[in-house]
Amino acid sequence: MTRYIIRRLLWGVALLILVSALTFVLFRILPTGEPARLRAGRLATPKVIAAIRSDLGLNKPLIVQFWLYMKGIFLHFNLGYSYYSSASVKSLIANRLGATLSLTFGAAVIWLLSGVAVGIISGVRRGSKLDRGTMGTALVLISAPEYWLGLIALYLFAADIGQLKVFPGAGSYVGLTGDPSRWFTSLILPWLVLAATNAAIYARLIRGSLIDAMGEDYIRTARAKGLSERRVVLRHGVRSAINPIMTILGLDIGVLLGGAVLVETVFDIPGIGRLNYDAITHSDFPIIQGTVLIAALFIIVANIVVDVAYAYLDPRVRYS
C-alpha cells in the first residue's frame, strides 16, 4: 500500500506540472490582453509598459518564464502576483479558502446524508409510490441549474429580500471567526442549493447500486443464515453499493474546493470560485493559474484518498 501511495503522489506531481504548463501556454497564446498594460493602469505609457514587462519577466522566452514560475512554486510556494492589484496570489487564495471550505464541506455533509438515505429507502422499496416520488423529484433537481435554484431560493427564503423571509443572513456571508452564529445562518441556504443536485445524483446512484447488490448470491446467503433484513441491507447491501458513491464524492469535493463559481456568485460568498471569476473578467492570469493549480491539487488528493479508502471499504480491492 505504501508503494502504491508513493507512486500515486509522484504521478500527482507530474500531473500538476502538466496542468500548469497547459494553463501557462494557453493564456500566453489567447488574446487576453497585455499584462503589463493591466499592471500599469492609467500610467500605461510605452516606457512604463516596457519597464513592467522587464520586472515581470514577460520579455523572456516562454520556456524561461515557465521555468521561473515552477521554480517559485516548488521552492517557496510562490504563485506569483496579481496583474490587476499587485497582491500575492497565495495570500488572495488563502483569504478566500475559508469561505470555500465552509461552503463545500457543509454542503457535502447534507448531500451525502440525504442522498444516501433517500437512495437506500428507494432501493429497498422499489416500485412504491415513495420510490417514484423521490426519484421523480431527484430528476427535477438534477435538471435544475444551480444558479437558477440559488436565485429562486433567494427570492423565496432570504430574510432581507425573500417573500417568506425564512433564512436570515443569506446573501451576506460572514466568516466563522467573525461571528459563528451568523456564519452558520448565512450558509444554510447556499448549502441547501449546492447540495440539492448532488443529493439527487447520489440518491439515484445508490438506489441502482443497492438494487443490483441485493440480487447477489451473498445477500441470499446472509438471509439464509437468519440475519435480519435491516442488517442484510445495511451491513451487506449498502457496503457493496457505497463504492460508486466514494468515487464521485472525492471528485465532487475536489472540484468544489477549486471553487463553486455559480453558488458563490449568486450568494455573494467571497470564495475561490468568485476570485477566479473576477480574475477572468480582468484577464488576471496569475490568479487564474493559481486557482487552477489549487483546484487540480484538490482533485488529485481527493482521488488518492478515495483509492486508499476503497481498500478498507471493499476487501476485494488490493493494491500492490
Q: Position 260: which residue type?
A: A
Q: Is the pLDDT of residue 164 over 80?
A: no
For 289-313, what is each residue's pLDDT tens digit?
A: 888 888 888 888 888 887 777 766 6
For 92-116, what is each residue's pLDDT tens digit?
A: 988 888 888 888 889 989 988 998 8
Q: Is the pLDDT of residue 162 over 60?
A: no
Lowest-pLDDT range of 33-47, 183-197, 244-258: 33-47
Q: Is the pLDDT of residue 72 over 80?
A: yes
The 3-state secondary structure of 167-232 reads ECCCCCCCCCCCCHHHHHHHHHHHHHHHHHHHHHHHHHHHHHHHHHHCCCHHHHHHHHCCCCHHHH
316 or 36, higher pLDDT: 36
DSSP assignment of 230-268, as one string? HHIIIIIIHHHHTHHHHHHHHHHHHHHHT--HHHHHHTT
Q: What percent of the chain has pLDDT over 70?
A: 86
Residue 306: per-residue pLDDT: 78
Residue 97: per-residue pLDDT: 87
Alpha-carbon gap, residue 11 to 16, rounded angstroms: 9
Residue 157: per-residue pLDDT: 75
Lowest-pLDDT range of 6-15, 26-35, 237-246: 26-35
Q: Is the pLDDT of residue 315 over 60?
A: no
> Are 49 and 34 in contact, with CB atoms under 8 Å apart?
yes
pLDDT band at residue 36 using 50, 70 and 90 as cut-offs: low
For 121-161, what is each residue's pLDDT tens digit?
A: 888 888 888 888 988 888 888 888 887 888 888 877 775 65
**Alpha-carbon distances of 282 from 14, 83, 243, 277, 294, rounded to whole Å:** 30, 9, 42, 9, 20
Instruction: List domains and CATH numbers for the chain.
Output: 16-78 (no CATH), 90-313 (1.10.3720.10)
Q: Is the pLDDT of residue 319 over 60?
A: no
Q: Is the pLDDT of residue 12 over 60?
A: yes
Phi, psi of 208 (to 5 degrees): -65, -40
Alpha-carbon gap, residue 8 to 250, rounded angstroms: 15
> Are 158 and 170 in contact, with CB atoms under 8 Å apart?
yes
Alpha-carbon gap, residue 169 to 157, rounded angstroms: 10
Report the predicted TM-score, pTM, of the whole model to 2 decimal places: 0.78
58 or 192, higher pLDDT: 192
Alpha-carbon gap, residue 1 to 7, rounded angstroms: 10
Q: Is the pLDDT of residue 39 over 70?
A: no
Q: What percent of the chain has pLDDT over 90?
A: 1
Residue 41: per-residue pLDDT: 66
Set of cell numbers at residue 276? 477566479
pLDDT band at residue 43 using 50, 70 and 90 as cut-offs: low
Alpha-carbon gap, residue 166 to 173, rounded angstroms: 16
Q: What is the DSSP letter of 128?
A: S
Q: Is the pLDDT of residue 55 over 70?
A: yes
